[in-house]
Structure 1
Amino acid sequence: MSPWATVRLVAGRELGLRLRSKVFLITTGALLVLLVGAAVVIDLVSGRESSESVGVVAAESALTSPLAAVAASLDVDVTTRDVPDEATGLREVSDGDLDALVTAAPSGLRVAVREDLSDDLRGVLAVLARQQVLDNEISVLGGDPARVNETVAAADVQVTALDPAPDQQGERLVLGIASALLIYMGLMLYGPAVSQGVVEEKSSRVVELLLSTVRPWMLMAGKVLGIGIVALIQMVVLAGGGLVASLVTGALTLPSNEATGTVVWSVVWYVIGFFLYALPFAAIGAMVSRQEDLGGISSPIVLALVVPWVLGISIVPGDPDNGLIAVLSMVPLFSPVLMPMRIALGVAPVWQLVVSVLLALALIGVLLRATGRIYHNAVLRTGARVSFADALRQA
């Protein structure tokens, strides 16, 4: 049997075992439901209009038009309704049919509410009260309030943005963080799964039977490849399901090609990141004989994964163009988490993408050689933990 056929056989064994696992099925299903549910909730919350219903006494219906104009200028949804008299309006406010009853007062306006006045409506009525007082003063002085209000309404503020933020920047940020979070969670789940699988086979002596017919590097490559395919399947299901749900529900209004491109790049970085971390995890799994020993020896690898995630969520939202993040996003062990964020925000130049991918692939090549040697030298040695020096020593 050729080496590649052997690797495929080992990978197929891992793939079959893990795809049928209840943990994999339940975890994937639960996360997919969570992502779809989040998209639906975001759509409902963002699409929900909280209209304020305001009653105006019929005798003071002249307030209705300026009230609507002020509300529109402040982008507050207000519905006005005439009530025959103040007593009727107060009763409707008490029953909850109206949010507020507005009547004129010498110093501005009087507002009756059931419990409290919302901040949006308070702002609208404050502007309207000042406008009513100003109109009265203009009339007393012999001026035309309508003409003054028309002139004031025509006033504008011209804003020149020297470095304008792209449209829908908030959605890009959410998409970038969500992509990085899925990658981070996937690597934290499936990276240690590789080392745990190696230790299980080593402690149960199954590895001795397998190595009687399979060369060590083939067994390691097949295990990493098999678990990697399982991880990729889960990532594609979650990322694809979340993207489709967000676009269908309208929770994500980015152009579909832009959103899809971000998701595709996230999947690519997930695959690259898996091999960057899974290979070292496979090596340390071969160096110990008990699951209890994995925690200490794997902590540097876990730390290398945690650091970019913490830096990303701490710095990128407030400063997408941060120079430190730009440099670290090209460092292979940091790239899988940081680069998807920068891609989603549109701040990663093509040359940085190319450099980061090439550096990551080069490191994967180095890791293949180094971890293959460690696995070959350590996987059959039981008892005390094998040191890195002994594991790397040329056989």
Structure 2
Amino acid sequence: MSPVWLVARREIRTRVRTRAFIAGTLATILIMGGYAALMTFIGHQAGTTKVGVTAQAAAVGAPLQAFGQSFEISTVDEAAGERQVRDGDLEALITGTPDAPRLVVKRSPDGALRAALDAVVQQQAMNAELARVGLDPAGVRAATESAHVSVTSLETEDPHLGERLGLAIAAGVVLYMFLIIGGQMVAQGVVEEKSSRVVELLLSTIKPTQLLAGKVIGIGLTNLLQLVIIAAAGLIASGVGGVLTLPSAALAGTLGWGLAWFLLGFFTYATVLAAASSLVSRQEDLQNVISPVIMVLVVPFVIGVSMLPSSPDSTLAAVLSLVPGFSPTLMPMRIALGVAAPWEIALSVVLSIAAVAVLLRLGGRIYSNAVLHTGARVKLRDALRAA
């Protein structure tokens, strides 16, 4: 293992000290922070409806606050309110009298606002009719509000479901991004060494499998360091901002399993990509041999982000999360959602480790027999036959 760790240390020192590593890490943190802030701002804006109310219709504004949607009520002059509606500063203006309010909008009224206003007007009309026949509107309202349907829940609702869903999607996106970036770094490094014939000098002192293992381990640990820094920054920012209120044990477990699955996924895909890239000698031909491997990585990511948010208990996602190659993306998402059983996690880990062992052996042999062949692309069949 001494030559392996020698190559790994070289890869780590070379890449960690580069401006690209530092700038990339900082840029990723800033982009993720900016995206989170933008989504929070958009969500806040989308959840708030700005409504202007004239002094004559002020009695209508207070009952609107009782409805679920957030209405930001402000008292304005009718002419000024119409001008603000036309300019987009207000989404609607309520004028007229409390008994006969009028809703002024720029084009079409917001459905929730119109429904809420209709409910307020109907309640006021009912109160007036009850008072006309000699009944107390408050008493009638109290009697009707006490009537409700009895609800029996077969399962307890998770109060942190929304946070778990956001954490699962974030885990899937980050792992997918880092697996692709790390795998492509390995592939490009193999082709660079092969095209510059540096690999011939290296293989004069160490074995091809040792060079491959050292390169995969070194780049993998470099990306792991970058992932830990970014994940820690994201968790700290979420905690300070009050976005995540999950128990610390759940956050630590999600982060720990995410890092573990990154390593398993990286060793799986990086080994395959290194073997595939050893078949070519030019960067121009690299994309042709690594694209099929990248597509395999895209499939579980698409399944995860499209299926798990709406159906966390999906049988298809549960089965695919046990398949090596699919597990590094799907299983961390299911763990974050809290739907992965312990036996499923254990089985997927065992299967992934077994797959890594097989791929390391097979990929190492392909790499050994193809990396010294320069010029035309080496056919996979010939590399396997030579092996």
Pick the TM interval, shorter chain.
Answer: 0.7 to 0.9
* CA deviations over 1:157-202 (Å, ceiling 9, x no partner): 4333445542232221121111111111111111122122111111
CA distance in 2, matches of 1:47, 1:249: 14
- Going from structure 1 to structure 2, the CA distance change for 1:43 and 1:251 (only over 3 Å counts) comes to farther
CA distance in 1, matches of 2:96, 2:284: 74
Greater mean alpha carbon deviation, residues 145-154 or residues 338-347? 145-154
| Structure 1 residues not aligned, in runs of 5+ | 82-87
1:8 offset after TM fit, Å?
A: 1.5
* CA deviations over 1:251-308 (Å, ceiling 9, x no partner): 2232333223212211111111000000111112222222222222223211211111
State TM-score, norm by structure 2: 0.88
CA distance in 2, matches of 1:94, 1:47: 24
Matched, 1:301 2:293: yes
- Going from structure 1 to structure 2, the CA distance change for 1:230 and 1:78 (only over 3 Å counts) comes to closer
- Going from structure 1 to structure 2, the CA distance change for 1:337 and 1:74 (only over 3 Å counts) comes to closer
Matched, 1:8 2:5: yes
CA distance in 1, matches of 2:298, 2:151: 41
* CA deviations over 1:203-261 (Å, ceiling 9, x no partner): 11111111111111111111111111111111111211111111111122323332232
- Going from structure 1 to structure 2, the CA distance change for 1:379 and 1:114 (only over 3 Å counts) comes to closer
Structure 2 residue aligned with 1:237: 229
Structure 2 residue aligned with 1:109: 100
1:314 offset after TM fit, Å?
A: 2.0
SS at match of 1:391: helix
Q: Which has the larger radius of gyration?
A: 1
Structure 2 residue aligned with 1:85: none
- Decide whether the 8 Å contact of 2:370 with 2:378 is kept in 1: yes
- Decide whether the 8 Å contact of 1:101 with 1:113 is kept in 2: yes
1:124 offset after TM fit, Å?
A: 3.0
Matched, 1:158 2:155: no
Greater mean alpha carbon deviation, residues 318-327 or residues 135-144? 135-144
CA distance in 2, matches of 1:359, 1:227: 23
- Decide whether the 8 Å contact of 1:186 with 1:231 is kept in 2: yes
- Decide whether the 8 Å contact of 2:53 with 2:94 is kept in 1: yes
Structure 1 residue aligned with 2:347: 355
Hey, which bits of structure 1, 4+ residues long, moved more than 6 A? Answer: none
AA of the residue aligned to 2:294: V
State TM-score, norm by structure 1: 0.86
Greater mean alpha carbon deviation, residues 247-256 or residues 45-54? 45-54
- Going from structure 1 to structure 2, the CA distance change for 1:303 and 1:89 (only over 3 Å counts) comes to closer
CA distance in 2, matches of 1:192, 1:75: 47
SS at match of 1:319: coil
AA of the residue aligned to 2:65: A
- Going from structure 1 to structure 2, the CA distance change for 1:69 and 1:285 (only over 3 Å counts) comes to same
Instruction: After TM superposition, list the pairs within 5 Å mapping 1:233-312 onto structure 2.
Output: 233-312=225-304
- Decide whether the 8 Å contact of 2:95 with 2:103 is kept in 1: yes
SS at match of 1:376: helix
Could you tell me which of 313, 322, 328 is aligned with 1:321?
A: 313
Structure 2 residue aligned with 1:36: 33
Matched, 1:93 2:72: no
